[in-house]
Amino acid sequence: MPGPPLWPVLGNMPQTLAFLKQEAHAHHVIWTQFANKYGGIYRLEIPGHRFVVVSDPAVLPAIIGRPGLPKWAAYQNVVPLVARSKVETLFTTPHSSDPMWKAVRKALNPAFSAAAIRGKFGLVVEKCLALCEWLEQRGPGADVEAQDVMARLTLDVVLMAGFGIASNTLADPRPVPLLTELHYAMDESFRRVPWHHGIAPASLQTFSEPVRAVLLKLLPFLPAAKQREAHFARLYGIWEGWVEEMQARGSVAEADDSMWACLARVRDPSTGKPMEGDKLQAEVASLIVGGLDTTAQTALLAVHPEAQKAVAAELHSASLLSTATKRLPNVLTHSDLSRLPYLDAVIRESMRIFPVSASGLGRYTNEPTVLGGYLVPAGTDVQAAVLQINYYAMQNVEATFPQPERFMPERWLGRPRAAAGASSGDASADGSVETDPLARAFLPYSAGPRSCIGQPLAQMEVPTILAMVLGRFEVELADQMGGYKGLLARQINAFTLSLKASPDNGGMAEASAASHQEVTLKQLAGVQWNSASGNPPAYPESTEQAHARYTAALEAIADRHAGQNVLVVTHGEAVRRSVARLLPWAMVYEVRHCGFTATWRGKDADGDWDAWDLEDQGADRGVSWIT
């Protein structure tokens, strides 16, 4: 039974003025101060808004659990980012009982199934290798706009994995048009919502911003209005171009489980027709935006010296770290991900301190709702109460997370993880989330019917990126960022990392004797060993130079032994390179010890060599790629 009717006296009530006075701070800091002071549920009123702010995990199931309360109107501010007209998307549709929302969510499930995500692992690895090459070219000590490179990486991944669109933004240092336009559009869209704009820098701005939106609309001849229109036109042009490109491919194959194929299969429950126009474009764009910044920000947060050392030690024990004797670590395999518990703890701790959804999720009280023993009455059209679920505060309050400001991955070791899509407080597979106070209070992807659909992709992508980058580089905050404390105090999406190549990785390494022993003993008895090229590699040698050297060496061997069968024993990277040379569109994601590929070339009638041919990969060959 409901507790005592509570509205309008719900918990402690911080004064509006107290809130405004603190505007100089980033909003996530204020939310946490309030949660520490007023508890896990309190009412907050500022002119025009009435919030019930919740950060008590015990209260969450009543909000985000089934059937789910409608999303707050502020979500509508993302609509202009994805379409010219006002259409709903998976992300913005208020009610999860909406038949179209259900149809889209259900249709997209195959794209995020365990099998589909596993199938994209090779692509993520390939893009990470491209990132590592890019970073290597910058050289040790270079300052890197981490936000930018990670956004490029995650954009390349989501475009190819979800929509089959090839982009190679890491290969081109020029600004990426989509990222430029999105940045502008997000800034412009969220200016109108003080709660989503970090409140800072001043209360004046909080109140002037809504006026700006109206002014730009009413006075289209203003330079700012023209600029706005030009930016948005370019953004929509990019979305439209991609959708046209995908539509031009024709119908999707039955076995295709990409995000595009799933969206193409959606039928509007009321008309039976497929999605088209702005609606289709908006769903495509939302998935690209969802897959972009969120992942990128999170991947940046593992920057902490001691934790980095511990990650390096863990990577080292899995042969995934660049060392003096093994410059190129093993290429990460999918099964490695489950063998890196400390890295997982680092990610959880990063997401605890900086949840992507820092300012929280908003839901309306469309029906009387019992929360934490209090009865919150149904809202009205005029002023519905917004239930502001504040994940940032939930994950940073003293009571649950002692010394919350300290970055302590260790606090997560051995703790259970809530299952994707579970309601808050739901049991994990082993039933232990319910009783684990930390696991209950850690919901970076939210939970319940409106939980993050992209969680499986993000949970594969984030550790893959970190394992591969931290296996090859040491990173630290660039000097001007004022260290870790400075980072904590500022907006979380703008900081620079300084890059240091791992100290030991100059020069190519020999693979360990043990890794060659098996080949030598079992398969190579009687085989003559030749050095591929008489010359040692230049030092230092860039990746490009190394690739050119591998290619030249392979060609030289082939020419020297024309007409013969030759076994070339070389490093995994050279094997990778030889496949990539023959199949430029292939993405090699695994070269195991003793892995091999077979390649040959014939002669035409004039005695000229044909192009090289590559034997199909076999599961037992140890070299795997996708085309």
Q: How far is the CB of 481 from ligand HEM (least distance, A)?
A: 22
Query: Cβ-closest residue to ligand HEM?
Result: 454
Q: Which is nearer to ligand HEM, 91 or 550 (CB)?
A: 91
Chain residues binding ligand HEM by CB under 6 A are 90-91, 105, 158, 286-287, 290-291, 294-295, 298, 356-357, 361, 444-446, 450, 452-454, 457-458, 462
Flag whether 452 is marked binding.
yes
SS3 323: coil
Structure tokens at 74: 């502020």
Sequence-separated (6 or more) residues with CB below 8 Å from residue 77: 189, 190, 192, 193, 196
Q: Which is nearer to ligand HEM, 91 or 407 (CB)?
A: 91
Q: Could you tell me if 12 and 39 are in contact, meaning their C-beta atoms sit under 8 angstroms apart?
A: yes
> CA–CA separation, 238 vs 244, rounded Å?
10
SS3 526: coil
Q: How far is the CB of 550 from ligand HEM (least distance, A)?
A: 34
Question: DSSP letters along 102-164, please?
Answer: HHHHHHHGGGGSHHHHHHTHHHHHHHHHHHHHHHHHH-TT-EE-HHHHHHHHHHHHHHHHHH-
Q: Which is nearer to ligand HEM, 374 or 445 (CB)?
A: 445
- Tally the residues of the chain: 627
Sequence-separated (6 or more) residues with CB below 8 Å from residue 539: 506, 507
Q: How far is the CB of 363 from ligand HEM (least distance, A)?
A: 8
> CA–CA separation, 87 vs 76, rounded Å?
9
Q: Could you tell me if 294 and 458 are in contact, meaning their C-beta atoms sit under 8 angstroms apart?
A: yes
Q: How far is the CB of 156 from ligand HEM (least distance, A)?
A: 13
Q: How far is the CB of 90 from ligand HEM (least distance, A)?
A: 5
Q: Could you tell me if 150 and 130 are in contact, meaning their C-beta atoms sit under 8 angstroms apart?
A: no
Q: Could you tell me if 365 and 387 are in contact, meaning their C-beta atoms sit under 8 angstroms apart?
A: yes
Which of 548, 615, 561, 610 is closest to 583 using CA atoms? 615
SS3 182: helix
Output DSSP code: residue 615: P
| 585 CB-contact burial (10 Å; exposed 0-12 / middle 13-18 / buried 19+) | exposed
Q: Which is nearer to ligand HEM, 14 or 290 (CB)?
A: 290
Q: How far is the CB of 453 from ligand HEM (least distance, A)?
A: 5
Q: Which is nearer to ligand HEM, 445 or 495 (CB)?
A: 445
Q: Which is nearer to ligand HEM, 122 or 454 (CB)?
A: 454
Q: How far is the CB of 448 from ligand HEM (least distance, A)?
A: 9
- Strands 587-591 and 386-389, by their bridges, are unpaired
Q: How far is the CB of 547 from ligand HEM (least distance, A)?
A: 31
Which of 546, 547, 591 is closest to 572 using CA atoms? 591
Q: Which is nearer to ligand HEM, 92 or 308 (CB)?
A: 92
Virtual torsion, Cα 21, 45, 445, 184, nearest 10 deg: -60
Q: Which is nearer to ligand HEM, 88 or 336 (CB)?
A: 88
> CA–CA separation, 142 vs 314, rounded Å?
25
Q: How far is the CB of 442 from ligand HEM (least distance, A)?
A: 11
The one-letter code for the residue type at 422 is A
Q: How far is the CB of 291 from ligand HEM (least distance, A)?
A: 3
Binding residues for heme: 452
Binding residues: 452
